[in-house]
Structure 1
Amino acid sequence: MWWLLTGLPTAPPGQAGIARGEALRTALAAGAGVGAAVTLALSFRRQRHQEITTAHATHDATERRVTELYTKAAEQLGHDKAAVRLAGLYALERLAQDNPGHRQTIVNVICAYLRMPYTPPRSPGPQRSAPSTPGPWQVAAPADPDLAEGERQVRLTAQTILAEHLRDERPDQRASLPSQPRHWPGMRIDLTGATLIDLDLAEAHLAEAQFDGAIFTGDTSFNGAVFTGQAQFEGTTFTGDTWFFGATFTGGARFSRTTFTGEADFDGATFTLDAVFFRATFSGNARFSEATFTDHALFPEATFHGNAWFDEATFTEFARFDGATFTSDVVFDGVTVTDFTGSRMSRAEWTQIADHPDHVWPPGWHTVTCPDGSTGLARQESAAGEENGEDAATAPSIPPEEPAGTEEKPRE
C-alpha cells in the first residue's frame, strides 16, 4: 500500500492527489478480492465438513435403523405364533431388498431358520408304523394340527423368499421390472441338514450351495439352475421326483451317498468340473440324456434300481462306474466318449443283466468277461491288444491310474 502511494511517478501539480486516490482504490479492490477468495475458501471447507458430518450421521442413523429392524425381525422368528414368524420373514425380505449390503446376512438368517430341526406332519391316509419319538436331529411336529400347518407355511414362505430372489430374471423380463431388480446376485446358501418341502429353485443362480445331509420332501426342482461355485449334495435324500434338467455346475458337483427315491432327471445338465456320484442310490429312473461331463464323471459303487439313460451324453474326460449296480435297462446310445477305460461294473447283479438286448453301450465298446468273473467294458478294436497278442474281443478294460484327488474314498 505504501508503495502505491509513494512509488507513483511525478505527476503534474494538481493531479498527484487524484493519482494517489486511484491507486488507493485499486489497492483496496485487490485486497477486497483476496479477502473474498479467502472467505469463499473457508466457506467451502466449512460446507464440505458439514456435508461429510451429515453423511456420516445419516449413515450411522441408517445403520442403527437397520440394526433395530433386523433385531426386531429376528426376534419375531422365534415367536410361538406362526403369523408373527411370517411377519418377521417379510420384514427381513424388505430389509434385504432395500439394503444390498445386508442381503447375505439376511439370507444366512433365513437358511439358519430352515436348518432348525423339523419333522413334517404326516399326510392323511394310511401310514406305516414309525417310532414314537423323533430322531436325534429332528423334533416332532406339533401335536396341534393348526400349529403344525402354521410351521409348514412359515417354512414354505422362507423357501419362496429365497427362490424369488435367487432366481435371475431373463433379459426379456427386465424391461418390465421395477427399477430395483428383485434378484440378489452372488448369494451363498447353507442348508446343511435342512428339511425342505417341495423346494423349487428352478433358474436360481447360486455362488455356493451347501445341501449336505438335507432331506427334500416332495418333488424338487433345480431346472436351469446355475451353480457358479461348489454344489454339495452329499448324504442328501430326495423323497420325490428330482429335476436338474438343463442345470449348469460350473464348480464341482458332489452327490456322494445321495438317495434319489423318485425319478432323477439330469437331462441336458452341464458339469464343468468333477461330477461325483459315489455310492449314490437311484431308486427310480435316472436320466442323464444329453448331459455334458467336461471333467471326470465318477459313479463308483452307485446303484441304479430303475432304468438308466445316458444316451447322447458327452464324457470329455474318463468316466468311472467301478462297482456300479444296474438292475434294469441301461442305455448309452449315441454317447460321445473320450476315455471310457476303467468303466468296469464288478457287481454280481451287473453280470446277470450285462448282455440284456435292451442295454446299449457307447460306440466302439462292448461287454467282456474279466479274469475274476465280473463284467467289464472293452473296445471292439484294440490296437494295444493286437500288439500284445491278445484277443480284442476278450481283453478287459484296465482302469488307468487315478489322478490325485479325483476319486472320493469311502468315509469311515
Structure 2
Amino acid sequence: MGQSGELAHRHLVPNFRTGPAIPITGKNDALVGYLWIAGAVVVVVAALLLLWQHRRRKSLLGPTLIGSIGAFLLVAGWLFAVDPGAPEHEAIKTGGLAGGSVVALYALWLNDRRRQVDDARHVLEGARQDLETARAEHDRSRVADERFARSVELLGHDAEQVRVGAMHALAGLARSRAEYTQTVLDVLCAYLRRPFRVDDGTTAGARGPDEREFEVRLTAQRLIADLLPRDDAPGAPRYDLDLTRAYLEYFDISHRQVNDLLLRAARLHQSNSFHHTTVHGGAWFTDARSPGRLYLHDMTFHDKGWFSRFTARGRTDLSRTRFLGPNKFAEATFTGFTTFEGTEFARPVDFRHVRFTGGVDLRLAGPPDALLTGAQVSVGHGNLLPDGWVVDPRGLVRN
C-alpha cells in the first residue's frame, strides 16, 4: 500500500500537549476496540468487590475507585468503538464524567449514611432524654407518694399542731401535683366525718375538751375551700366533695365550683355558706340538719338538687338560686325564715309535704310550676306567695 493509502486509513487524534493531531495506527485501533471490554471487566470486578466489602461491613472506597476507573474505560472505549471518527478528547471527557459520576454517587451514599446516623443519634438522644424524664418523674412520684402516706399517718397523731401540719402538707402536695387534689380533698372530707363531740350548753363558745380539735377541723374546712377552683375560672377541673355525716361549722365554699356535692345527714351548725357556688354534678342535702344560718343564695345546680327531709332551724337563704335539673324538697322542714325570692326552677319544684313554720318568701322567678301536695306554711307569719297561690286556715298551700 502506498503512502496515500496509508493516510486514508489513518485517524487523526489531537495532541493535548502540542495541539497538532497525531495519527493512530491500525494496531492502535485494535487496542482501542478492546478498551471497553477491559472497562466492563473492571466494572464487574468492582461490583463483586463492592458486595464483598458491604457484607463484611468494610469501607467501600476501594471498590468505588476501581468502579470509577472501570466506568471511565467502559464509556470511553465504547465511544471509540461505536464512533471511531469522534474526537478523542470528547470520548475521554465523557468517560471521565462517567467515572466521576460513580465517585459522586458514592459521596451521595456516604452523605445519606451520615444523615441516617445523625437521625438515629437524634432518636437515641430523644429516647435517652425521655427515659431520664420518666425516671425523674418516677422519683418525684415516689417522693410524693411517701409524703402523702406520711401526712395521712400524721392525721392520727395526738397533738393538734401535728395534725394541722399534716393537713397543710397534704394541701401543698395537692397544689404542686394536681393529680393528688381529689385524693387530698377526699382525705380532708373524711377527717370532717370523724366523730366530734359538741357541748351545746348555754355558755357561748363552750365546747369542752374538743375545743382544740375544733380548731383543727376549721383548718380542714379552710383548706378544702382553698383547693376548690373559683367559680369564675373557665375550664377548671371539677372535684367532688363527700361530706356525708360530716360536722360543719363556719364552713364556707362560696364563689367556688364543685362537681358532686354530698351532704347527706350532715350537721351544719352556726353559719355555713355555699352562696355563689356552681355545682356541675348532683347535690344531696338529704336528711341534713342546719340548726344555724345557711346561705345558699345565687347558687347554680346543673344537675340534681336534692333537699328531701332536710331540716333547717335557722334562717335559710335560697334567693336567686338556679335549679337547672331535677329537684326535691319533699318532707323538708324549715323552722326559721326561708326565702326563695327570684329562685329559678327549670323543672317543677317538688314541695310535697314541705313545712315552712317560720315564714317564707316563695316569689319564684318566672311562672311557678310546683307540686304542693301537703305543703304547709305558718299562718302566724307573713308569707309571700306567688300570684294564684292561697293558704287555707290550716296553713296548707294550694295553687
Q: TM above 0.5, one fold?
A: yes
Q: Does 1:29 align with 2:107?
A: yes
Q: Does 1:115 align with 2:193?
A: yes
How large is the Cα RMSD of the aligned pairs? 3.1
Give the unaligned 5+ runs of structure 2.
1-63, 78-87
C-alpha distance in 2 between matches for 1:49 and 1:80: 49
Which residue number corresponds to residue 75 of structure 1? 153
C-alpha distance in 2 between matches for 1:258 and 1:169: 26
Q: Does 1:246 align with 2:246?
A: no
After superposition, give the CA deviation of every residue in 1:308-349 in whole Å (9 maximum; x if it has no partner): 11125435533324253534335345x3xxxxxxxxxxxxxx
Tell me if the contact between 1:294 and 1:317 (Cα under 8 Å) persists in the aligned partners.
Answer: no
Q: Does 1:326 align with 2:378?
A: yes
Q: Structure 1 residues 198, 123: closer, same or farther in 2, change over 3 A?
A: farther
* Alignment partner of 1:154 out of 216, 219, 225: 216
* Alignment partner of 1:5 out of 51, 60, 69: 69
Q: Does 1:105 align with 2:168?
A: no
Which residue number corresponds to residue 65 of structure 1? 143
Which residue number corresponds to residue 226 of structure 1? 278
C-alpha distance in 1 between matches for 2:216 and 2:391: 53
Single out whichever of 33-42 and 282-291 deviates more from structure 2.
Answer: 33-42
Q: Give how far 1:19 is off.
A: 7.0
Which residue number corresponds to residue 203 of structure 2? 125
Which residue number corresponds to residue 125 of structure 2? 47
1:10-409 equivalences in 2 (<5 Å) = 10=76, 22=100, 25-122=103-200, 125=203, 145=209, 148-168=210-230, 170=232, 185-329=237-381, 331-333=383-385, 335=386, 362-363=387-388, 365-366=389-390, 377=398
Which residue number corresponds to residue 355 of structure 1? none
Q: Give how far 1:152 is off.
A: 1.0
Q: Structure 1 residues 39, 169: closer, same or farther in 2, change over 3 A?
A: same
C-alpha distance in 1 between matches for 2:289 and 2:397: 30
Q: Structure 1 residues 39, 119: closer, same or farther in 2, change over 3 A?
A: same
Tell me if the contact between 2:71 and 2:99 (Cα under 8 Å) persists in the aligned partners.
Answer: no
What secondary structure is seen at the aligned counterpart in 2 of 1:54?
helix
Q: Structure 1 residues 314, 328: closer, same or farther in 2, change over 3 A?
A: farther
Tell me if the contact between 1:5 and 1:20 (Cα under 8 Å) persists in the aligned partners.
Answer: no
Tell me which amino acid in the other structure corresponds to 1:230: G
User: Which structure has the bigger radius of gyration?
Assistant: 2
C-alpha distance in 1 between matches for 2:98 and 2:309: 102
C-alpha distance in 2 between matches for 1:167 and 1:113: 21
What secondary structure is seen at the aligned counterpart in 1 of 2:371?
strand
C-alpha distance in 1 between matches for 2:276 and 2:310: 20
Tell me which amino acid in the other structure corresponds to 1:34: D
C-alpha distance in 1 between matches for 2:195 and 2:397: 45
C-alpha distance in 1 between matches for 2:395 and 2:192: 45
What secondary structure is seen at the aligned counterpart in 2 of 1:72?
helix
Question: Would you tell me which structure has more helix in proportion to its own residues?
Answer: 2
Tell me if the contact between 2:374 and 2:397 (Cα under 8 Å) persists in the aligned partners.
Answer: no
TM-score (norm 1): 0.70
C-alpha distance in 2 between matches for 1:214 and 1:375: 29
Tell me which amino acid in the other structure corresponds to 1:275: N
Q: Give how far 1:79 is off.
A: 0.8
Single out whichever of 187-196 and 34-43 deviates more from structure 2.
Answer: 34-43
C-alpha distance in 2 between matches for 1:38 and 1:61: 34
Tell me if the contact between 1:304 and 1:327 (Cα under 8 Å) persists in the aligned partners.
Answer: no
C-alpha distance in 1 between matches for 2:173 and 2:364: 47
Q: Structure 1 residues 294, 184: closer, same or farther in 2, change over 3 A?
A: closer
What secondary structure is seen at the aligned counterpart in 2 of 1:242?
strand
Q: Percent identity?
A: 22
What secondary structure is seen at the aligned counterpart in 2 of 1:216?
strand
Q: Give how far 1:153 is off.
A: 1.2
TM-score (norm 2): 0.72
C-alpha distance in 1 between matches for 2:293 and 2:164: 28
C-alpha distance in 2 between matches for 1:214 and 1:202: 18
C-alpha distance in 2 between matches for 1:91 and 1:266: 36
Q: Structure 1 residues 376, 253: closer, same or farther in 2, change over 3 A?
A: closer
Q: Give how far 1:21 is off.
A: 7.8
Q: Give how far 1:3 is off.
A: 4.1
C-alpha distance in 1 between matches for 2:397 and 2:194: 46
Q: Give how far 1:87 is off.
A: 0.8
Which residue number corresponds to residue 51 of structure 2? none
